[in-house]
Amino acid sequence: MLTTSVKGRALDYSRVVGGRAFRGIVYVALGDGDDVYVVTRDTYASGIAKITIGSELDDEEEVITFGNISEGVFENSWPTCAAFHSGKLYVTDELKDCVRIFDSEGHLLTEFGKSGKKHGEFDRPSGIAIDADNNIFVSDTLNHRIQKFSSDGVFINSFGSYGADQSKLNSPWGLAIDNEENLLVADHLNDRIQQFSPDGTHIKTFGNSGSNAEILDHPSDVSTDPEGDIYVSDWANNRVQIFDGYGAHITAVHGAAFELSKWQQQYVRGNPDVHKARRRVATLEPEKWFALPTGVSYDTNKSRLLVVDSQRWRIQIFDKLANYSDPQFNI
């Protein structure tokens, strides 16, 4: 379905961006204007690419790769998530147990953190979010906690501990700051989203009850829009779940990429064997669906949702439509 319309919301499939250059894509962070920072990690190469995605079909362009600017910074590295704020890109690294800070053009400015369990130390950090006061929140995944830092990486406090009760965490992953400056946490192995105040006070939990169509399975990321709707990459269910600001379920999106991206088309045209293999397949229908989506980012300026379709090395983009009504056909 190209347009998902329910309960006064409408998400319309727009386009797909990606291809082999996105091998190992796990996350995207929105920069200034049309800038999008793509986080990739793979056996062969890991790093960050800065691309532009405008409003027109096929206008995407690669600008730079950070590895070419800050040479060697991603060797033996496993970048995971990123957040752009005030001209800087903050990137978590699961293998190096640190957060790196770059300028918008890929120059490494500083980093903080090291392996361990003490304050300011990490065990496989993943999600990262920055609030209006420039505080940095990091999912300290295998320490099962959230750590809060100042803008220059000085430890402020931490909250959460291993468990399944309210406010407990089990491998937290993606993070987002909502419209009330509260923190949303994708509580990955507890199959739920938790909301905390900036000081770590638990507010509510959702996503782990209801029908099978509503329950999350290993959520990996979370994002919000100006209306307060919450988008969750429901990783193991191969879908994106949408909740309202109170945590009530609205609907789910399963993907709709019925065509190849510009870069995917270039690859297929340049490789006759790949083109022939695609012709031998009985149906290409499964290609449109998400396959283990790892990231969601809502672009407020363009009213669109970017979904990291990790196993297909691409980003599916959906426009959020205002005042949408289903077309009527008289035949």
Amino acid at 29: A
pLDDT tens for each residue of 242-285: 999 999 999 999 999 989 999 999 999 999 998 899 899 889 89
Closest CA to 253 of 228, 289, 221, 220: 289
Q: Are 144 and 169 in contact (CB under 8 A)?
A: yes
pLDDT tens for each residue of 15-45: 999 988 789 999 999 999 999 999 999 877 7
Coil, helix or strand for 214? coil
C-alpha 75/C-alpha 46 separation (Å) is 8
Mean local confidence (pLDDT), 210-228: 92
> How many Å is the Cα radius of gyration of the chain?
19
User: In the chain, what percentage of residues exceed pLDDT 70?
Assistant: 97
- The tokens 């019925």 sit on which residue? 258
Who contacts 286 (Cβ-Cβ below 8 Å, separation ≥6)? none
Q: Are 146 and 175 in contact (CB under 8 A)?
A: yes
Domain boundaries, the chain: 3-320
Q: Which fold has domain 3-320?
A: Neuraminidase (2.120.10)
C-alpha 52/C-alpha 33 separation (Å) is 8
